[in-house]
Copies of this chain bind each other. A is one copy, B any other.
Amino acid sequence: MCGRPRRVTATDVAKATGVSRATVGFVLNNTPGQSITAATRAKVLAAAERLGYTPYAPARALRSGRTSIVVMLLSQLPGGPVVNAVTEHLTALLAEDGLTLLVHMHPGRDEPVSALWGVVTPAAVIAFDRAWDEELAPLRRAGIPVVTPFVDPPDDLDGAVPVMMQRIGRLQVDHLVLAGHTRLGFALPDDPRLAPMAGDRLEGARFACAELGLDLPQVATVPLEVAAAAEAVAGWRAGPAPVTAVCAYNDEVAIAVLSGAHRLGVAVPGELAVIGVDDVPLAAAVSPPLTTIATHPATLSRYLYEALAAALADGPVPHRPATEMLAVTVRGSV
C-alpha cells in the first residue's frame, strides 16, 4: 500500500494531542523555564508513546549544531582483545555522559577522513593511527576535538601510547633481569602492520638493556607457526653465550615461542624464560602459564575517556602516567 511508512514527527504528536508543536518540544525535552500543566504534559507523553515517536537525529543535529556521537577510528591492524576491551569500556563510560561510541575500521587505499566526515559529523574523534594526524586537520579546523593517543603530545609524554609501548618493553626487561637473566632475546611479530608498535616496544627494551649495562637484545621474527618458531628458538640457543630469556611482542608471539621451545625440548622457564604482553585469556591456559605484561584496559579506557571529556570541554589533557596501566602478571614462564 503505502510505499514507505512516513516517520512519526513531533508535529504528528502535536496534532494527536491538540497542542502546538512547540509545546510538544518543551515537554519532550523538559525545557527549563517553561510552565506546562501536568495534564498537558501527560497527554503529550502518552501520545508520543502511543505513536512511537523518536526525534529525528539529523534534524536535531542540524538545529543544535552538534551530535552525541564519538567516532573511534581504527586502522586495519587486527585489534586484539585489548582493543576490544577498550572499546567495550569506553562505550560504557561515554554512555554515562549520553555519548555514543561508534567504531569505524578504515579500509586502506582511499582517504578516510573526508568521506567519513561527510557522513557522520561526530562530536569528537579518537584516531588510533599516527598516520592520520594530518588528515584530521580539517576536523580540528571545524572545531571537532580529535584525540590521537598514538601521537606524542608535546607536554605530557606519559600519556602518549608510543611512550607506553616503550615502557612495556622496559618492564619486560626489568622483570627478566630481576629473575637473574642477562642475555635477552626479543621476538618480533610476522605481521608487517604491527611493525610500528613492535618497533616502539623493542626500542624500550633496547633502552632498558643499555641502561642496565647489558648487551642489546637479540632480535628475531617469530611467525605464528611451530616449525618457524622452533627455528627462532634454535637461533637464540645457538652459540657460546645463548639467550636465556625472551621478550615477546605479545602473548600470541610468546605462545609461539613456547611451542617452538617445546618442540626442541628446551625447558621453559628452566632453559628459556618467556614474557609476553596483553594478558590474553589464553595466557593462563597454556603450559607453562605465561608471565606477561597486563595492559589493564579499564585504566587505559578511563584515560581515553578523560582525554575526550577534556577535549570536549576545552580543558587540558589529563596527566595519566603510563605505569598505572601496566603491571606484570606473574605466572610460570619466567
Question: Interface on A for B, CB 8 Å cutoff?
Answer: 4-5, 7, 52, 54-62, 67-69, 71, 76, 78-79, 81, 84-85, 87-88, 91-92, 95, 100-107, 110, 114-121, 138, 141-143, 223-226, 229, 252, 255-256, 259, 262-263, 281-282, 284-289
Contact = CB atoms under 8 A, between A and B. Distances in A.
Contacts of A229: 285
Given A76-B88, A78-B81, A102-B103, 20 more contacts: A5-B142, A54-B117, A58-B60, A58-B61, A60-B118, A68-B119, A84-B84, A88-B105, A88-B107, A92-B107, A95-B107, A103-B105, A224-B284, A226-B287, A226-B288, A226-B289, A229-B285, A255-B286, A259-B285, A263-B287
Contact of A143 (B4, B67, B252): B4
Nearest to A116: B100
B284 A54 contact: no
Contacts of A117: 54, 57
A255 B282 contact: yes
A67 to B, nearest CB: 7
A62 B224 CA distance: 49
15 contacts: A57-B58, A57-B61, A58-B58, A58-B59, A59-B62, A84-B84, A100-B115, A100-B116, A102-B104, A224-B285, A225-B289, A226-B287, A255-B282, A256-B282, A286-B286
A231 to B, nearest CB: 13
A62 B58 contact: yes
Nearest to A79: B84
A138 B55 CA distance: 13
A226 B119 contact: no
A152 to B, nearest CB: 25
A119 B4 contact: no
Contact of A287 (B104, B121, B259, B284): B259
